[in-house]
Amino acid sequence: MSSKNPADSPACAREGAPRKGFSRRTFLEGVGIGAGAVGAIGTAKPARADSNDPVGPGPVAITLNINGERQDLEVEPRVTLIDALRNQLDMTGAKKVCDRATCGACTVIADGAPVYSCTMLAIEAQGRRIETIEGISTEDSMHPVQTQFVENDAQQCGFCTPGLVMAGKAVSDRSSQPSMADVEAGLCGNICRCGTYVGVRKAVYEAARA
Amino acid sequence: MATKYDWPAAEDRSLIGKRHNRVDGPEKARGTAKYSYDRNLDGMLYARLVTSTVPHGRILGIDTSNAEKVPGYKGHVNILNVGDEVQWVGAEVLAVCADTEEHARDVAAATAVHFERLPHWVKDEDVEQAGTANRVTPAKDDTKGPDIEEAWKSADATVEGYYGLGIITHCCLEPHGQVVDWSGDEITVYASTQAVARIPADLARGLSRDESIGTVNAEQVHVITPYMGGGFGSKFNIDTWGIACAKLSKQTGKPVKLMLDRDEELMVAGGRPSDYGKVKIGAKKDGTLVAYEAETWSTGGVAGRGSPPVPYVYNNEERLSQKARHLNVSTNIGPARAWRAPNHPQAAVLTMCPMEDLAAELDMDPVEFFKKNADLTARPEVYRYEIDKCAEMIGWKDNWHKRGDSGSGPVKRGLGLSLHTWGGRPHDSTCEVRIQPDGGVSVNLASQDLGVGTYTTLSVVAAETLGLQIPDITVNIGSSRLPISGASGGSTTVGGTSASTRRATVNALEELKGVVADALEVDASDLVAKDGKVFAESDPSKSLSWTEACRKLGNRTITGQGKQPDREGGKLNDSGVGGVQMADVSVDVETGIVTINKIAAVQDVGLVLCLEQCESQVYGAVIQGIAWALYEEAIYDQATGKMLNPDMEFYKLPGAADIGELEVHMVQNKYDDRGVIGIGEPPAISPGAAISNAVANAIGVRVPTLPLTPDRVLEALANA
């Protein structure tokens, strides 16, 4: 499996998605052979994103910047960002659906660009500013994209919604006057099974202008 | 006869039939709605399935010795045993669990299952080939109406053709699965299900079959499902993984999460039967349809399944000569599950497409042809009205042309239509409505919201009945310990739950009126609840605000009970709807790519409760229809017996840019007196036939099978 950001897909115009960093495949190739000792929790060796030194396969200490807050955690190097968010930090807004960088339900924003967190390793997310669905609203107010999702009935079962909201937020962050074609291009890395696209398109279009 | 339970008259409705934001919208938009997959309980273990790698075989051995040495291993349970037969790739053999999700994958990978391979078959389209493999059994042979041989003689035009559509899967975004916490005698199940009230008995039955578990009582099981991520007919049962998950929880003394992986979800947890058929259809010169004959075949796994009700909609048994044979093809693939309007989408393709071909043969405008024969349907007036309305929405008069008469450029435009019907009889439901002394109101029933708007519709029903607003109502569903309500399948939920809720709310209000009548010294029958007040109709100055009225209860909480069905409870619902859809497409005859320009949908559902959520159901159904008309299909390889695309990259679904313009018209104020009728299935039926007809109109030839992928379009053009 290669690391695939929405921007890597020719069909998707998600400019600015980070392309640097190692992929899940090259990483696993790097550690797959000869990696012996299993690190014990608490004594884990810190993993640095800018280092090529092999780490793992046991847990390593990492630090993530999520919604502006520092999160220290210990993860096996193979753990994806989505699994770290959901299983370790109990941030379950982003959903694991295809687990193969296709459906966008796991979309988070890294350094301003939408990425598939199912195909970014947690250790790879170090040093990046990660925004998740949990970070874009407060108890009292929702982000305009969220408000417009409600106003336009842009959700049914709701399982794809957090990913679409984050993709929509990235559209509205980029432009306050996106065309409908811009909106569709920005959302084309996300799949909804219930069929909410009519409301979703309107919601993102209107939220950008809000 | 009028009863106090009847829906308010049109002029008295302040909420029913209007547009409302989904009450669960903010939680879903914020990502705080907790689905089964999102449950993280203290000490929770992660489970994975180990499944069959062969399409047909017998289990020779199950070896967990290496798996048990994997770091983090916590336990395993067998679902099948040595000697058992597996009938498809992905069949559940055992479940394992570990302390982390990654370790659970390691444990599953270290588990070895050995199979003796047996002969398999996974292909269904070529029925003769399947017959040679001894996989075909007759399932139906019906003859109805006037003598068909005479009818063929009377026909001035006949068309014979081959039509069909492949297998699709449900592909619910939240996969099947659950978290089970077996603690003491209490079994708490966070299940992704469309049948909250049914799961306890289902799980207890499954567990009690295992002697080592002993007898489990359904009342020990508490199902909690406030939100679920899509079902579409595939999530009625606890399934083997739910039973195994509960056993692992008992075995380990910890909560256990077992959600299917995407490939498992697509291979074994969903599936709509294919359907293929040779169809002959005939009409007189003036367009009067006289005969329909079909030999159809389909597969939905080992058991076959998928007999389509053909001829569809146009099926008057007095006047139309009909002959329908069906053959079951048995295949070693994951078994079919009910898929939104079971068998109807297939029947629409096998009826509406030959009809459009016959209209072309007769040189008739299909709209005129479909309307002319409306007397062969159960509701001629409804369909004539809906065809006209839909034609206006799609601009049929201006945009339709004769088949193939679409200009010289490479991009051809065409229009097509289809009709559908569905029952949607309400399911049984019981409801308790509480009115608290502080004015709080709750609606309580063991129903579920699959994303259709149950929270919203029940809020509207209770608020309308009490003269309150939507935020004044708390809807408690998604727990099996609430009053029992039916499973959400077949468009039965809104009719059932709205009726039990209406009756329970009316009963609760009656009791409140009794208390208020004493306080205001008026007759209880003179009181009305409206605009947040309870007041005397004869003297509105005798009035209490809702809160003041409820305060008169003192320490008492009112509980109103309501049920469906209820003979004395008024006519609140019905079954049987129509619907018409028309598609406007462009086809590039050089690439074979079909683009949706617009789809128009007209739908009647009796009394509309929540207009916006009804429209959303139609939009969603049409988009799902675009998916199976143009993109999605489960593809199986005979050599290996495997599904080749159990993922979301090659199992293709449309995105936001692939759906064109959609326009929905809900028929309101015309059939309101019928009461509430389900909306989930009907609009999911017609899109494939309408799109296929539009493509035929555009390019001048029929692309026989769906999905209408570029290769199939090009092949049809090449064969023309």
CB atoms within 10 A of CB A110: 23
Tokens 């009970």, located at residue:
B561
For residues B336 and B52, give the distance between their C-alpha atoms in angstroms, rounded to a whole number: 17
Average pLDDT estimate for A39-48? 53
Percent pLDDT > 90 in chain B is: 98
Tell whether the model's pLDDT for residue A39 goes beyond 60.
Answer: no
B128 by Cβ neighbours in 10 Å (0-12 / 13-18 / 19+) ranks as exposed
Contacting B residues, span 434-473, partner chain A, CB-CB under 8 Å: 450-452
Establish if B386 touches chain A: CB-CB under 8 angstroms: no
pLDDT at A171: 97
pLDDT at A24: 36
Of A76, A161, A185, Cβ closest to residue B28: A161
Domain extents for chain B? Answer: 43-118+171-268, 341-423+574-719, 426-564
Average pLDDT estimate for A51-62? 85
Average pLDDT estimate for A177-206? 98
Residue A97: its chain B contacts at CB < 8 A?
Answer: 173-175, 262, 648
Task: Find, among B194, B175, B349, B357, the residue nearest to B282 by Cα.
Answer: B357
Q: Do A199 and B450 touch (CB under 8 A)?
A: no
Burial B368-405 (b: 16+ CB within 10 A, else e): ebbbbbbbbbebeebbbbbbeebbebbebeeebeebee
Contacting B residues, span 553-592, partner chain A, CB-CB under 8 Å: none
pLDDT at A53: 77
Higher pLDDT, B720 or B57: B57
For residues B92 and B84, give the distance between their C-alpha atoms in angstroms, rounded to a whole number: 11
Q: How far is CA B133 from the centre of its chain?
A: 33
For residues A172 and B718, give the distance between their C-alpha atoms in angstroms, rounded to a whole number: 45
pLDDT at A45: 62
- Helix, strand and coil content of chain B, in percent to the nearest 5, comes to 30, 25, 40
* CATH architecture for residues B43-118+171-268: Alpha-Beta Complex (3.90)
For residues B139 and B18, give the distance between their C-alpha atoms in angstroms, rounded to a whole number: 46
Of B25, B37, B620, Cβ closest to residue A195: B620
pTM equals: 0.95
Helices B344-361, B687-699: inter-axial angle, 10-degree rounding: 30
Backbone angles phi, psi at A57, to 5 degrees: -80, -5
Q: Are B470 and B23 in contact (CB under 8 A)?
A: yes
What secondary structure letter does DSSP report for B333?
Answer: S
Strands of the sheet with B411-422, listed across from one edge: B411-422, B577-588, B594-604, B661-667
Of B21, B102, B173, Cβ closest to residue A193: B173
* Assigned token pair, A73: 């955690």
The CATH number of the domain covering residues in B426-564: 3.30.365.10
At B275, the amino acid letter reads D
Tens-place pLDDT, residues B81-134: 999 999 999 999 999 999 999 999 999 999 999 999 999 999 999 999 999 999
Q: Are B350 and B306 in contact (CB under 8 A)?
A: no
Tell whether the model's pLDDT for residue B668 goes beyond 80.
Answer: yes
All domains in chain A, ordered by first residue = 6-135 (3.10.20.30), 144-209 (1.10.150.120)
Q: Do A156 and B451 touch (CB under 8 A)?
A: yes
Establish if A184 touches chain B: CB-CB under 8 angstroms: yes
Q: Do A92 and B37 touch (CB under 8 A)?
A: yes
Tell whether the model's pLDDT for residue A1 goes beyond 60.
Answer: no
CA distances (Å), origin B438, targets B371, B548, B557: 57, 8, 9
Higher pLDDT, B378 or A33: B378
Higher pLDDT, A11 or B169: B169
CB atoms within 10 A of CB B669: 9
Task: Find, among B427, B432, B367, the residue nearest to B581 by Cα.
Answer: B367
Task: Find, among B420, B602, B470, B479, the residue nearest to B221 by Cα.
Answer: B479
Tens-place pLDDT, residues B146-190: 999 999 999 999 999 999 999 999 999 999 999 999 999 999 999
Contacting A residues, span 139-158, partner chain B, CB-CB under 8 Å: 142, 146-147, 149-151, 153, 155-158
Q: Are B73 and B113 in contact (CB under 8 A)?
A: no
pLDDT at A32: 33
* pLDDT level of residue B1 (50, 70, 90 thresholds): confident
* pLDDT level of residue A54 (50, 70, 90 thresholds): confident
Tell whether the model's pLDDT for residue A20 goes beyond 60.
Answer: no
* Beta carbons within 8 Å of B697's beta carbon, 6+ residues apart: B356, B360, B366, B400, B401, B403, B404, B406, B414, B415, B416
Tokens 């129903």, located at residue:
B447
Q: How many CB pairs under 8 A join A and B?
A: 176
Average pLDDT estimate for B201-215? 96
Strands A69-75 and A107-110 come out as unpaired
* pLDDT level of residue B598 (50, 70, 90 thresholds): very high
The correct CATH number of B341-423+574-719 out of 3.20.20.20, 3.20.20.70, 3.30.365.10, 3.30.420.40 is 3.30.365.10
Task: Find, among B195, B200, B201, B208, the residue nearest to B180 by Cα.
Answer: B200
Rounded to a whole number of angstroms, the distance from the CA of B40 to the nearest CA of chain A is 7
Torsion of the alpha carbons at A102, A108, A109 and A111, rounded to the nearest 10: -100
Of B21, B33, B38, Cβ closest to residue A150: B21
What sign has the CA pseudo-torsion B617, B392, A203, A85? Answer: positive
Tell whether the model's pLDDT for residue A86 goes beyond 90.
Answer: yes
pLDDT at A50: 64
What sign has the CA pseudo-torsion A63, A66, A70, A72? Answer: negative
Q: Do B22 and A95 touch (CB under 8 A)?
A: no
Candidates B30, B100, B169: best to mutate against A (most CBs of A within 10 A) is B30
* pLDDT level of residue B428 (50, 70, 90 thresholds): very high
Of B101, B619, B654, Cβ closest to residue A87: B101
What secondary structure letter does DSSP report for A15?
Answer: T
pLDDT at A52: 73
For residues A146 and A136, give the distance between their C-alpha atoms in angstroms, rounded to a whole number: 9
Residue B648: its chain A contacts at CB < 8 A?
Answer: 97-98, 100, 102-103, 191
Tell whether the model's pLDDT for residue A34 goes beyond 80.
Answer: no
| Of A43-52, B197-206, B569-578, minimum mean pLDDT range | A43-52
Of B40, B619, B657, Cβ closest to residue A90: B40
For residues B227 and B243, give the distance between their C-alpha atoms in angstroms, rounded to a whole number: 21
Tell whether the model's pLDDT for residue A42 goes beyond 70.
Answer: no
Average pLDDT estimate for A148-177? 98
For residues B219 and B239, give the distance between their C-alpha atoms in angstroms, rounded to a whole number: 19
Contacting B residues, span 645-704, partner chain A, CB-CB under 8 Å: 647-649, 653-657, 659, 662
Residue B24: its chain A contacts at CB < 8 A?
Answer: 158
Percent pLDDT > 70 in chain B is: 100
Q: Give strand pairing partners of A41.
A: none
Task: Find, among B433, B429, B428, B426, the residue nearest to B464 by Cα.
Answer: B433
Of B172, B230, B657, Cβ closest to residue A188: B657
Residue A165: its chain B contacts at CB < 8 A?
Answer: 29, 31
Tens-place pLDDT, residues B643-666: 999 999 999 999 999 999 999 999
Establish if A134 touches chain B: CB-CB under 8 angstroms: yes
Higher pLDDT, B33 or A45: B33
Candidates A109, A153, A171: best to mutate against B (most CBs of B within 10 A) is A153
For residues B250 and A110, give the distance between their C-alpha atoms in angstroms, rounded to a whole number: 41
CA distances (Å), origin B77, targets B96, B107, B214, B252: 7, 13, 15, 11
- Helix, strand and coil content of chain A, in percent to the nearest 5, comes to 35, 15, 50
Average pLDDT estimate for A135-146? 97
The complex scores an ipTM of 0.97
Mean pLDDT of chain A: 83
pLDDT at B23: 98
Q: Are B185 and B222 in contact (CB under 8 A)?
A: no
* pLDDT level of residue A17 (50, 70, 90 thresholds): very low
Tens-place pLDDT, residues B449-500: 999 999 999 999 999 999 999 999 999 999 999 999 999 999 999 999 999 9
* Assigned token pair, B188: 């708490």
Tens-place pLDDT, residues B385-414: 999 999 999 999 999 999 988 889 999 999
At B243, the amino acid letter reads I
Mean pLDDT of chain B: 97
Task: Find, among B291, B299, B347, B295, the residue nearest to B320 by Cα.
Answer: B291
* Assigned token pair, A93: 């807004």
Burial A74-87 (b: 16+ CB within 10 A, else e): bbbbbbbbbbbbbb
CB atoms within 10 A of CB A69: 9
Q: Do A95 and B648 touch (CB under 8 A)?
A: no
Please confirm whether the linkage preceding B687 is cis (ω < 30° from 0).
no
pLDDT at A26: 34
B541 by Cβ neighbours in 10 Å (0-12 / 13-18 / 19+) ranks as exposed
For residues B72 and B234, give the distance between their C-alpha atoms in angstroms, rounded to a whole number: 32
- Tell me which chain A residue has its CA closest to the CA of residue B628: A193
Domains B341-423+574-719 and B426-564 share a fold: yes
Q: Do B31 and A153 touch (CB under 8 A)?
A: no
| Count of alpha carbons within 13 angstroms of residue B670, beta-carbon side | 13
Q: Do B31 and A78 touch (CB under 8 A)?
A: no
* pLDDT level of residue A82 (50, 70, 90 thresholds): very high
| Count of alpha carbons within 13 angstroms of residue B518, beta-carbon side | 8
pLDDT at A40: 38
For residues A39 and A54, give the distance between their C-alpha atoms in angstroms, rounded to a whole number: 13
* Assigned token pair, B446: 């063991």
For residues B558 and A39, give the distance between their C-alpha atoms in angstroms, rounded to a whole number: 60
